[in-house]
Amino acid sequence: MLRSGVVVAIFLIGLIGASTNSWAHGGRLNSEGCHNDTKAGTYHCHLHSTKSKASNSAISASYNRDNWKFHSSASPVSRSVLGWYTGIDGSATDVDHVVALKDAYLSGGQGWNSSQKRAFANDPFNHVAAVPYVNRTLKNAYVPLKFITKLRNSRYAFANGKCVEYVDLYVQVKQKYGLSFTHNNIQAAKAACR
């Protein structure tokens, strides 16, 4: 009798512990376990993606989006409801980094100090408003060619002229911050825009 009581108690403790996490708040997470909290106007992470850690080099294992101190509500595009890439008018948009923070990290930003990371993350030159699905699922931290391909294979499409404009802006942001193009094929990305 005592043994079954102990088993029940352990089960109840585990059940309460597991359900505590579900009381926090909902929201779809991206591949890095992060999402925008539209009520608070912040972006935060809940867990680390084992998929992204397994597929990237050791240098990306220490990438942490929280170190970049991005404040989406401070961006001039934070109140826009028009998706820059698609031209779709929606009820809400995300502030998207044309050069994603992880992309910046992998192409030279890993050596930046915290103020350099914060300056990059909050630079309006690198911000556009994006439909949440386009930002979080199709673009995420992908380089231009992969994003263009994913967008073209989805139900979404670039607004007239935005594909080439996106690639040009991507190049300008990387050049402004001295980031490398090692993992990019800019010519192929521009060709994919045609």
Three-state SS letters, the chain = CHHHHHHHHHHHHHHHHHHHHHHCCCCCCCCCCEEEECCCCEEEECCCCHHHHHHCCHHHHCCCHHHHCCCHHHCCCCCCCECCCCCCECCCCEEEECCCHHHHHHCCHHHCCHHHHHHHHCCHHHEEEECHHHHHHHHCCCCHHHHHHHHHCCCCCCCCCHHHHHHHHHHHHHHHCCCCCCCCCHHHHHHHCC
Q: What is the pLDDT of residue 106?
A: 95
pLDDT at 5 (0 to 100): 52
Q: Where are the domains of the chain?
A: 26-192
pLDDT of 149 reads 97
Per-residue confidence (pLDDT) for residue 45, from 0 to 100: 52
User: Looking at residue 89, what is its pLDDT?
Assistant: 87
Sites in the chain below the pLDDT cut of 50: 1-2, 6-25, 41-44, 46-61
pLDDT at position 18 is: 43
pTM for the whole thing? 0.69
